[in-house]
Structure 1
Amino acid sequence: MPPLLIANARMIDALGGEPRDGQDILVDDGTIAAIAPTGSLTIAEGLSSLERIDARGLTVMPGLFDCHIHASTTPDQGALEGITEAESAKTLRAVPQLRATLMAGVTTARDLAGADSGFRDSLEAGVIPGPRLLIALRILSITGGHGDSRAVNGLALDSGPGAGAIADSPQEFVRITREAIREGADWIKIAATGGMGSPRSHPEGGGLSESEMRAVVDEAKRHGIAGVAAHAIGAAGIAAAVRAGVRSIEHGYLVDDETIEAMIERGTVLVPTLSTLTRAVSPTAAPWVVAKRRRTVERAGERISAALAAGVQVALGTDAGIVPHGDNLRELGLLVDHGLTPMQAILAGTANAARLNGLDDEVGTLEVGKRADLVATRVDPLGDIHSLATPHAMSLIVQAGDVITRPSETVTR
């Protein structure tokens, strides 16, 4: 990749300060080599052939994260099709979905069920375009819980890579945690409660016991895994997951005040997936799905707003796959709607998310020496953050120094 100079930019570096106007960013060998006021950089002789992009009128930010996606899932797929479809079809369908995610400005993502190590490694090798990927492979659940895709008689309805793994004691959860690690998991995902789409569990209960969750957390930590992410909707399950030491709470819709305080004290990160909370219910949804969603949504907005107002650490995550891929940055506007400032929402999608994933020494902020993952937009993110979700909002996308799209190009998702 040739050296790159991004000149005349307004820069949000995600270090917590105000934007800086008139900045030049020099990229060399995939990393940020220098940042200085426009015109003040001395370009070394060996970089005389660098590419120059005039970013006048653009705001440059770190590449964004989506900490909760399902790359091989699509929201318009029926349950029967999802069970009977060949795994190769899921994989091939993921290719344009991953590209759409990258073109939205998401340069790193965490897949929390469905993608195996082949997805991650192919993206890393540049075989297909998409965000850098961290994977959890599948959800670990109890018999009858969220992720138990078996019929009443125990017949497995889904045996693909993303199918849930089922256990019913701390010892059994240690074993299936080790199996996920053997298959290359970066993260472990557990079901601390049931789900709205689970026929035999419910959001207020139906998850791992606290001792089972603690066994998973301890085993993951022993093996150096990035962390344990807990699907958790009801208050009791969220509280137990926090006490057990999970790194992130996914959804967290009914979190209570006591657990909000515990999350702040422990540094537990909330990934609220407001995109899926606020999505329209499918007209073909089963009555029990509609009923569970109605009960949850009635209180969820208020509880998430309470958590954000209290200062819980937040990282951006959408549940893309349940909602459309490529619309990932809609989540930024929803975070603002629920109480964050635009700058806090940007930090949720950059520095906070990088810290959650243990990548904050590499990406998440614009600093000399860090990997050159960055995006630039003509939208003012602090004045109109909702517009970042519109098609083609990103005029420039750079991933590890590679220019994915330039301001002069038309991006087609």
Structure 2
Amino acid sequence: MAQLPTLDPGVRRVDVTGNWMLPGFIDCHVHLSNADAERDPLRRATLPNSYLHLSMVQSARVTLQAGVTTVRDLGGADLGMKMAVEQGIIDGPRMLIAVTPISVTGGHGDACYPSGLDLGFRSQYPGIADGEVECRKRTREMLRAGADVIKIHATGGVWSPRDQPDDEGLTIPEITAVVDEAQRHRGKRVAAHAQGRGGIANAVLGGVTSVEHGYEIDEATVEEMIKRGTYLVPTLTTATTVPDKQAVPLVSYEKKMKWIEVARSCLPKALTSGVRIAMGTDCGVAAHGRNLTELRRLVEFGVSPMEALLAGTQYAAELIDRSDELGSLAVGKFGDVVVTDCDPLQQIDQLENANHIVMVVKEGVVYKDLVSQAR
């Protein structure tokens, strides 16, 4: 057995014998500004801004308590939220933010109804862009607002009022313009919401770093992604979540039920093809604090337990370009550690219950400790 290091006086030692240690998990696709599954856009529009801001505090706290020490927020959270976590004002995972997604008029990011009522993102940074020039300008505006990653909508979606998930959003030249502009700013990466087949292909050909959702992905696009090193973030947690029919608009419910089946049909083959996979949940559509449900879903779709764990740690760190600091337990990396009382390779389904996450350490600071309480 390796010799334990000598600790300085006053350094706390925690005995985790009988438990399992893992790197802090990374969720590459969340929306902390969305309260749990609050999908009624009209009700959301009536809520005070202060309520929405405080609900983000709760979402961040339960996410960290669930063992997720880093998130990529792909729409909604702004620089102030990120700073509040960094400065210890609130407890939450380390944040990378996209601020507001970039979308075409009438696309997934456009929540303007025929009446003129706009129920979209409450943000001082609008994301609607048409044409390459506007796409470059919006990218620059998001970077100015503090974006760590640029999010685009390459297809329509389930929750937008006037499009379908297989409608194409930004064109290849528009996507290429966004990617080029992001690259010019210290190599910032681009994540593409892409659900239908055509838009997925457009996103990959346009040079994005990751395809988010990818529900109707086909074999030819998978091959192109493997060749380019494009990541797939399948968000199976939300892809398989059946919403309350009474609580969401009927048109969205009908789209959702159809696209659950599309995802179940297309994604298993893609996930076992050799394409790079990173964990993302779309929590905010699914419930916050149950992020590690994604690991079970990955296994259900054909991924091995070990590969699922790597998708939530090492591979996710590579996607967000933080593998020198995060994603594994190694000398010189940030002290992000999760301790669980269940064997993650044999009982990966248990990880989604935060009660089985008995310790969470982020950058050396203990935010949850059920181990000491139990001894």
Distance 1:159 1:251, change over 3 A: closer
Give the AA of the match of 2:64.
L
Could you tell me how far 1:80 is from its partner in structure 2?
1.1
Quote how far apart the aligned CAs of 1:217 are. 0.5
Give SS of 1:53's match.
coil
Answering whether residue 11 of structure 2 is matched by residue 57 of structure 1, we say no
* Structure 2 gaps, min length 5: none
Matched, 1:356 2:319: yes
1:27 corresponding residue in structure 2 = none
Specify the SS of the correspondent of 1:205: coil
**Structure 2 CA distance for aligned equivalents of residues 232 and 158 of structure 1:** 19
Asked if 1:124 is matched to 2:86, the reply is yes
Listed one character per residue, the Cα deviations across residues 356-379 of structure 1 (whole Å, up to 9, x for unaligned) are: 111100111111111100111111
- Tell me whether 1:313 sits opposite 2:276 in the alignment: yes
Q: For residue 48 of structure 1, what is the aligned residue in structure 2?
A: 9
| Counterpart pick for 2:162 among 196, 200, 205 | 200
Do structure 1's residue 334 and structure 2's residue 297 form an aligned pair? yes
Report the CA distance between 1:83 and its aligned residue: 1.8
Indicate the residue corresponding to 1:133 in structure 2.
95
TM-score computed with the length of structure 2 as normaliser: 0.95
How many residues get paired?
Answer: 371
Equivalent position of 1:409 in the other structure? 373
1:380 aligns with 2:343: yes
3-state DSSP of counterpart to 1:188: strand
How many Å apart are 1:77 and its aligned residue? Answer: 5.1
**TM-aligned CA deviation for residue 76 of structure 1:** 3.2
| Maintained 8 Å contact 1:114/1:162 | no
Q: Quick one: which amino acid aligns to residue 300 of structure 1?
A: A
Kept in 1: contact 2:71–2:95 (CA 8 A): yes
1:69 aligns with 2:16: no
- 1:146–1:206 contact (8 Å) kept in structure 2: no
Question: Is 1:87 aligned to 2:49, yes or no?
Answer: yes
State TM-score, norm by structure 1: 0.87
Paired with 1:256 and 1:236, the residues of 2 have a C-alpha distance of: 10
State whether residues 41 and 119 of structure 2, in contact with CA within 8 Å, keep that contact through their aligned partners in structure 1.
Answer: no
SS at match of 1:262: helix
- The Cα offsets for residues 162-211 of structure 1, whole Å up to 9 and x where unpaired, read as 87511110111111111111101001111100001112111111310111
Corresponding residue for 1:252? 214
CA displacement at 1:280 relative to structure 2: 1.4
SS at match of 1:80: helix
Cα distance in structure 2, aligned partners of 1:193 and 1:408: 48
Task: Indicate the SS of the match to 2:27.
Answer: strand
Q: CA separation of 1:322/1:95 partners in 2, compared to 1, >3 Å: closer, same or farther?
A: same
Is the 1:195–1:201 contact (alpha carbons within 8 Å) kept by the matching residues of 2?
yes
Q: Secondary structure at the match of 2:373?
A: coil
SS of the aligned residue for 1:99 comes to helix
Partner of 1:240: 202
Which position in structure 1 is the counterpart of 2:259? 296
**1:268 aligned residue (207, 230, 244):** 230
Consecutive aligned runs of 4 or more in structure 1 exceeding 3 Å deviation:
153-159
- For 1:144, the equivalent position in structure 2 comes to 106
The alignment's C-alpha RMSD in Å is 1.6
Give, in whole Å, the separation in 2 of the partners of 1:291 and 1:233.
Answer: 15
Cα distance, 1:72 vs. partner? 1.3
Q: CA, structure 1 residues 255+159, in 2 after alignment: closer, same or farther (shift >3 Å)?
A: closer
C-alpha distance in structure 2 between counterparts of 1:162 and 1:189, whole Å: 16
What amino acid is aligned across from residue 274 of structure 1 in structure 2? L
Contact 1:229–1:247 (CA under 8 A) maintained in structure 2: yes
Contact kept, 8 Å, 1:371 with 1:401, in 2: the verdict is: yes
Q: 1:172 aligns with which of 134, 139, 142?
A: 134
* Counterpart AA for 2:334: R
Query: 1:145-174, CA deviations, whole angstroms, 9 ceiling, x for partnerless residues?
Result: 001022325554346128751111011111
- Please point out which of 168, 173, 177 is paired with 1:211: 173
Q: CA deviation at 1:215?
A: 0.5
| SS, match of residue 142 in structure 2 | helix
Cα separation, 1, equivalents of 2:367 and 2:258:
43
Deviation at 1:79, TM superposition (A): 1.3
Distance 2:159 2:296 in 1: 25
Indicate if the aligned counterparts of 1:193 and 1:232 stay in contact, CA closer than 8 A.
Answer: yes
Report the structure, 1 or 2, having the larger strand content: 1
Which structure 1 segments of 5+ residues have no match? 1-36
Structure 1 letter corresponding to 2:28: C
Greater gyration radius: 1
Q: Which amino acid aligns with 1:50?
A: V
Q: Deviations over 1:373-393 (max 9, x none)?
A: 011111100001000011311
